[in-house]
Structure 1
Amino acid sequence: MDTSKAEPGTRGSRTAGDVWLRPSARRERDAPPLSRDRITEEAVALLDAEGADRLTMRRLAERLGTGSTTLYWHVKTKDDVLDLALDKIFAEVEIPRKGGQGWRADITALVSGWRAVLLRHPWSAALLGRPMLGPNVLARSEFLYATLVETGVVEPHLTAAAYGLSNFVIGSGLMQATWPDNAKQPMLRDAREHLHANRERYPALAAHGPLVADGNWDAGFALGLGWLLDGIQANIASTDEEGGARA
């Protein structure tokens, strides 16, 4: 994030993710009547209504009915607020219960829930490149890694599999969020016409590109996720065969 025009209280060495590495402000007798939870809830509401570009510490303080000085008692920077808000919405991603459905079903449920949350909070996908160290994010990341480990995925494929799934969800959510529903069809039509007019330069895209599709985001996500899971499953089978051959 560009901090060249940082707001008051954002200068210094503090960066995204720092909020999870500092102890929370201790409540003392002279501490202002405001909590980090309340700040986070209001920040999410503001982000949902107006997007990340409109979030400022001053506007957040106004919505909370307090002053910026009081706000800074609990959060030091705008990055703190964004980190807290991102972790807050991850609490909406339900962690699947182990019920014998199998690892593919568990991962599908987890990442599908994650995608649904990104779409409910369209500002979030563009911010997920920052350090994610909050308890809600870590709990869901732990579930993903543990499920992959339990099913037989080992390094270096473990990190590749987890990153592949995570980046697919983020990319899918970001792409869909940037196509507003009220402008989607005209934009798709114009894009198709552009590709058709330049089909000699882009023959594969003109015939098969994503902008030629019917815009069924759910079907496209399910198909892409299936390909990723097929690849993970094939890697597990290959590892098992190699282990059996060595034995």
Structure 2
Amino acid sequence: MPRDTLTRDQIVTTAVQLLDDEGLEGLNMRSLGKRLGAAPTAVYWHVKNKDDLVVLVGDHVWQEVELPGIDPADWRTAAVAMADGLHAMLCRHPWLVQALGSHLFYGPGKARYDDHSLAVYEAAGFTGAEADRAAAAVFTYVLGNAVGASAQASLTRRLGRDGGDPEQLFQETLAKATEVAERFPRLRARLGSAAADYNAAPDDTYATGLHALLDGLTAAM
């Protein structure tokens, strides 16, 4: 595809697909150009470098989070919807979790989410710095809960590139973790339960923690 027919939207859409398939470590201008049917140099007419592309694409996927209506009498429904939407987006694009640790994201997509998040907590009665802290606390909680999925996706890709068997490694690691857990009474008592799976947690752990966090923020007002 010649550079004069290549658009930024095409680059962004294709980069999202590449990142979803190959992760942050698999993104380079050569691979992106191949998917676009264009020379790598054509991409540079639209983005300065890989870091700029990651910031552009990362801001783009923030647009996927739907913004709920806000009812001051039922603000928690909106708060939970925004948190759940963000969590689902981060799990769809696990590379973004990794990129948040190495890039400074900004742009209309993220600003749109951040602004609406503040509106939710202001509707709840949080003011000024209180609204900022509430929004930041929930964002940090959601991000932390998406780290496991991001790490597993990255590890699976790396093992696949190295010719390893991800499932076999997970099972071997689980067996080693079980041996260690046998030495600790509370962990030993949970062996055989769903919580015994490597890096697992009981069902509804995310939802329980989110509601507990919102309870605590409300109580601190």
**Higher helix proportion:** 2
* Structure 1 match to 2:76: 104
Mapped to 1, the partners of 2:195 and 2:203 lie a distance apart of 16
Structure 1 residue 234: Cα displacement:
0.5
The alpha-carbon distance between structure 1 residues 90 and 134, as it changes in their structure 2 partners (threshold 3 A), is same
* Structure 2 match to 1:71: 43
Secondary structure at the residue paired with 2:94? coil
Structure number with larger C-alpha Rg: 1
Identity fraction in percent: 35
Moved over 6 A (4+): 203-208
Identify the match of residue 43 of structure 1 among 4, 15, 40: 15
Mapped to 2, the partners of 1:149 and 1:99 lie a distance apart of 11
* Corresponding position: 1:166 with 2:139: yes
Structure 1 residue 106: Cα displacement:
0.3
Secondary structure at the residue paired with 2:204? helix
* Number of corresponding residues: 202
* Structure 1 match to 2:62: 90
Using the size of structure 1 for normalisation, the TM-score is: 0.71
Q: Deviation string for 1:112-166 (max 9, x for gaps)?
A: 0111111111211111243222211111111111111221213433322222111
* Structure 2 match to 1:233: 218
Contact kept in structure 1, 2:195 and 2:201, CA below 8 Å: no
- Give the gaps of 5 or more residues in structure 2: 157-165
* Structure 1 match to 2:204: 219
Q: Deviation string for 1:189-218 (max 9, x for gaps)?
A: 542432333x2xxx676678xx94563576
* Corresponding position: 1:114 with 2:114: no
2:130 maps to amino acid:
H
Using the size of structure 2 for normalisation, the TM-score is: 0.79
Contact kept in structure 2, 1:192 and 1:212, CA below 8 Å: no
1:94 maps to amino acid:
E
* Corresponding position: 1:131 with 2:117: no
**1:197-208 mapped onto 2 (5 Å cutoff):** 197=183, 199=184
